[in-house]
Amino acid sequence: MHGPEPVGWLLVALCGGVGAYCLLRMRDGTPRQRRTAAGEAFMGFGMAVMALPASAVDPLPPQVFAVVFGAAAVRELALVRHAPAHHLHHAVGALAMVHMALAMTVGGHPGGHHAAPAWTPVLTGVLLVYFAGYVLRAGVRLVPVGATGPGPRDGGGGDGGRGAGDTVTGLLRLPEVAVACRLSMGLGMFAMLLAV
């Protein structure tokens, strides 16, 4: 990634952590849930690798990222019939990664040989608006509704239906944690697009 090195390392930690969490989610659930977690783990780890500061490692050629994420976009589009909104979002994310990889090959970046096409800032702006909206929407989903008393989700016990003996693994399976991870990846994508 081309940008401030501390930001790159923060993105590596954030996206790598999300990828690891998604791998844990792949251990159980329905085949659809495991497929979803696998796609999210791939995006998390892919974003972490792309965000690695160039001073730390010899970066992979941008064309490698373009091919890998292009294939991921095709896969997500093929799965759209199973969960349209989710797979379309992942396809947009993968295509955004292709866009960033291609932007690294043009002027202004190491190894760039040509000036950036005129549409590059426009596409970057559209993607920034998309991911800003996605992050806001995911954030709203995390805001508690009716925090004045026990709601239907927590079974009246005030602890979300969890007993004192629940483990960290049980907490990691909460749907709110998955939403928080998606929000984190959206923020990471937004930050990476800012560096284009």
DSSP of 22-81: HHHHTTSS-HHHHHHHHHHHHHHHHHHHHHS-TTTS-PPPHHHHHHHHHHHHHHHHHTTT
Taking the C-alpha atoms of residue 109 and residue 107, their distance in angstroms, rounded to an integer, is 6
Cβ-proximal residues to 168 (8 Å cutoff; 6+ apart), any chain: none
Cα dihedral 51, 53, 54, 55 in deg (nearest 10): -170
CA distances for 76 relative to 56, 94, 119, 183, angstroms: 31, 9, 25, 19
Candidates 22, 60, 26, 24; CA nearest to 41 is 22
- Tell if the pTM clears 0.85, that is, is over it: no
pLDDT of residue 1: 58
Candidates 39, 33, 1, 2; CA nearest to 19 is 39
* Each residue's pLDDT expressed in tens, for the chain with a length of 196 residues: 567 788 889 999 999 999 999 998 888 878 888 888 888 999 999 999 999 988 878 878 889 999 999 999 999 999 888 888 888 999 999 999 999 999 888 754 444 455 667 778 899 999 999 999 999 999 998 888 765 444 444 443 444 444 444 576 677 777 888 889 899 999 999 999 998 8
Taking the C-alpha atoms of residue 71 and residue 125, their distance in angstroms, rounded to an integer, is 23
